[in-house]
Amino acid sequence: MAKIDNMMAILWMLQSGRKITAQQIAEKLEMNIRTVYRYIDALCASGVPIIADSGHNGGYTLLNNFIESPLLFDVEEQTALLHAAAFAQDAKYFSGEALNSATTKLKMNANQEQERMIKQHLQGLAVISPIGDSSLEPILKKLEQGIVHESSVEIEYQTSHEEQPKRRIVDPYGIVYWNNNWYVIAFCHLRNEIRSFKVGRIISINQTAITFQRPKLFSAGEFFRKSLLPEVKDKKGLIPLVVSGKASALDHLCQHWFLGHHVKERTSNNVVFLLEEKAIHTYVPYLILPYGKSIQVLEPISLKQTLIEVLNDLIHYYQV
């Protein structure tokens, strides 16, 4: 373990607020007691307020105000970080090795009571991980480097409608995780506009010597959310979509990534959405069919006919 890691480990042990002896530190960290003294001296020299009491009941403690510093975390804060790490691993977070190292340090350097509490908290949380593509990790890391250093990257990108991949230079502005997929929001030199690229379609990536300036106040997440929603050209032309049904199903509809942006009114039995007529007949049938009999379309009547047509197309497809 590196010197800085050992010094941090000693800080974590002192964070408990109880006296701890040099011998206890040496046994916990499996090091020579003289090395412990050197690390204690180094911490004191760097400004850490360590109190040393000599005698039979002596040991080392920290000043109370330092224990509450942002450098150290209490049980709830440690648990929150470990829970967040579990969700990040579920998303196939691309810096997983560093994340595992950080969480290992949190667990290893906790005192006995913290270890017990953290273990109980972690046993109460389960994250079911989807099947992910770990091969994206090196691509995501290079994209992140481009974002941090504001350097353009050259990618070989395969779109869904082109047979052959194309090479293009892009300025990466941000990375977005949505619906179990990673996307990079970048300025495309080929198209001369900001676009979103699905990372899973990037075949290869190389750093370039080209630099760029990221637009001030630009939000990759906001750009991506707007790209998912059909642009409403005439808000006066919006018509109501009225749906009734079970409360749980209506709640789910109101939280949907698309429909949730168009809620006008919600009652105990109904939800009223305001949408363009084209969107209602183009997108909505495929969004509400999975809810089966738990919901019912009240308006517009024409949507019911569209639903019948969609179902008939499916029936014909599987009968052929």
Structure tokens given for 185: 């929001």
Tokens of 300: 């517009």
Domain 235-319: CATH class, spelled out? alpha beta
DSSP, res 180: T
| CATH T-level fold of 134-228 | SH3 type barrels. (2.30.30)
SS3 193: strand
In single-letter form, the type of residue at position 57 comes to N
Assess whether pLDDT exceeds 90 at residue 298: yes
Strand partners, 174: 185
Instruction: Select 3-67's CATH number: 1.10.10.10, 3.40.50.2000, 1.10.3110.10, 2.40.160.20.
Output: 1.10.10.10
pLDDT tens for 120-161 read: 877 888 877 766 566 788 899 999 999 999 999 999 999 877
Domain residue spans in the chain?
A: 3-67, 75-123, 134-228, 235-319
Phi/psi of residue 44, each to 5°? -65, -40
Predicted structure pTM score:
0.67
Would the pLDDT of 222 be above 80?
A: yes
